[in-house]
Amino acid sequence: MKHFEVNFDGLVGPTHNYAGLSYGNVASLNNASAASSPKQAAKQGLQKMKALTDMGMIQGVLAPQERPDLDTLRRLGFTGSDQRVLEEAAKKAPEVLLACCSASSMWTANAATVSPSADTADGRVHFTPANLTNKFHRSLEPQVTGRILKATFNNDKYFAHHTHLPDNEHFGDEGAANHTRLCRDYGHAGVEVFVFGRYAFNTSKPAPKRFPARHTYEACQAVARLHGLSDDTVVYIQQNPDVIDQGVFHNDVISVGNQNVLFYHEQAFADTQAKLDEIQRKFGHSDLHFIKVATDQVSVQEAVKTYLFNTQIITLPDGNMAIIAPTECQESESVSRYLDELVTLGTPIKNVHYFDVKQSMRNGGGPACLRLRVAMTDQEVDAVNPNTLINDAQFERLNQWVDKHYRDQLNVDDLRDPQLVMESRTALDELTQILKLGSVYPFQQD
């Protein structure tokens, strides 16, 4: 049996915009109200997906969500035709309208937490959509995310789908952005590392003072229980509260793991040495690489600006690892110097490839935010909805679909345009046919 890690990237939706919605996410706040290009954003994402397939990786795509979210606006008391709902919301609650237009589902690292079959009690791949309670605009995602995941991984024999955790800050869950898995090979049972920002029930424990800790310890434990993971192979680590206060709103902004490599900034975690010892003990095997980046090599501020740790570490078919980094890393003197050196250090990481994902970066989403990792056996890959896997034909088709439906430029004011609702629905309706997802969107269920 063969084993693969498949990246499922989020396709950027037609309403991609910069609304400054994410307090604690420096890029989102800095770019509030800038003009966006949904077409460019979607194409940058597709280019990255295609490049990974060209490297010999299996690559998937997850559909975006329906925005503007008119159902939520109606739930909040706006009535009448779609046009009237938009007009009234724009007039009386413009911030609420912006939140209901965000294309934030593109960052599929926040779509769910995934545990591969080698780790779970029933031998299936488990998915729990993230509830994303900390940000209103993101809390609108989990239900439809669940439907999209079920339509993508649509086989009960291999895939188990859970409901997202209760929608409350006590169980704030940001999904795989705060979860990484270390293993010798994708098919071997691994150590699942859950990272959280704070304890919900024990408020005497350390927590950030300035920016919110979105993800709780209690949420991590609940997901581990749902997935049937053994305590012997799970490690819970608290993020260093000080780095959250410097803009590290998810752990994947300061650390990333792949197979036997954990790449992290020395300030990433609380209680670092004890936790690394626990990982080593539970991992068992000696061939484990902890690659620490010291503050004098790259500061936390530079890591947040360049997204050095929001890189994807992938294992290529020849067994070597490569880093998929945003071009911001190449443009930074200290980070590019660090990466040039890293590939010579004798760790499994041998190459760096840079990608322009600037449209996403301006909202605080790097290469790793754009993907959800699913480690699978070849049988499990065969059970995935094949239309969601990228090949040359599907890449072409999705590019043409973007060309046909997406705007070149979008300003925040354009979000009240009822024409945008029609454009988005027409595009998404066609997308569900391209990906053969069935009726996953609210407008398809009316």
By the criterion CB under 6 A, which residues form the site for ligand SUG? 18-22, 25, 28, 102, 104, 107, 109-110, 135, 138, 177, 249-250, 252-253, 363-365, 369
| φ and ψ of 105, to 5 deg | -65, -10
Work out how close the CB of 439 gets to ligand SUG at its nearest, in angstroms, rounded to a whole number. 26
* Backbone CA torsion sign across 50, 56, 57, 58: positive
Of 10 and 187, the one with the shorter C-beta distance to ligand SUG is 10
Task: Identify residue 120 by its one-letter amino acid code.
Answer: T
Structure token digits, residue 275: 């936790």
Nearer to ligand SUG, 145 or 363 (CB): 363
Cβ distance to ligand SUG smaller for residue 21 or 86: 21
170, two tokens: 């006590």
Q: How far is the CB of 316 from ligand SUG (least distance, A)?
A: 23
Q: What is the DSSP letter of 259?
A: B
Of 65, 84, 87, which is closest to residue 15 (Cα–Cα)? 65
- Supply the DSSP symbol for 216: B
Q: Which is nearer to ligand SUG, 409 or 433 (CB)?
A: 409
Measured between alpha carbons, how far is 324 from 313 in angstroms, rounded to an integer?
A: 6
Least distance in angstroms from the C-beta of 77 to ligand SUG? 23
Least gap, CB of 209 to ligand SUG (angstroms): 19
Cα separation, 181 vs 114, in Å, equals: 10
Q: Which is nearer to ligand SUG, 109 or 389 (CB)?
A: 109
- Quote the least distance from Cβ 135 to ligand SUG, whole Å: 6
Q: Could you give the strand order of the β-sheet that contains 289-293, starting from the edge strand earlier in sequence?
A: 255-258, 261-265, 289-293
Pick between residue 14 and residue 187 the one whose CB is nearest to ligand SUG: 14
Q: How far is the CB of 382 from ligand SUG (least distance, A)?
A: 28
Closest CA to 256 of 176, 167, 139: 176
Residue 312 DSSP SS3: strand
- The residues that are catalytic are 174, 250, 369
Tokens of 200: 């919900």
Q: How far is the CB of 315 from ligand SUG (least distance, A)?
A: 20
In sequence order, which ranges of 200-349 are alpha helices (DSSP H)? 217-226, 241-244, 272-283, 300-306, 327-331, 333-342
C-beta of 256: minimal distance to ligand SUG in Å? 10
Burial 402-416 (b: 16+ CB within 10 A, else e): beebbbeebebebbb
Nearer Cβ to ligand SUG (18/127) = 18
Cα–Cα distance list, 370 to 167, 177, 212, 265, 348 (Å): 23, 10, 22, 21, 23
For the chain, the helix, strand and coil percentages under 3-state DSSP, each to the nearest 5: 40, 20, 40
CA-to-CA distance for 341 and 343, rounded, in angstroms? 6
CA distances from 119 to 92, 183, 190, 247, 361 (A): 49, 10, 6, 32, 32
Q: Determine contact, residues 290/191, Cβ cutoff 8 Å.
A: no
Strand, helix or coil for residue 155: coil
Q: Which amino acid is at 282?
A: K
Looking at the Cβ atoms of 117 and 145, the one nearer to ligand SUG is 145
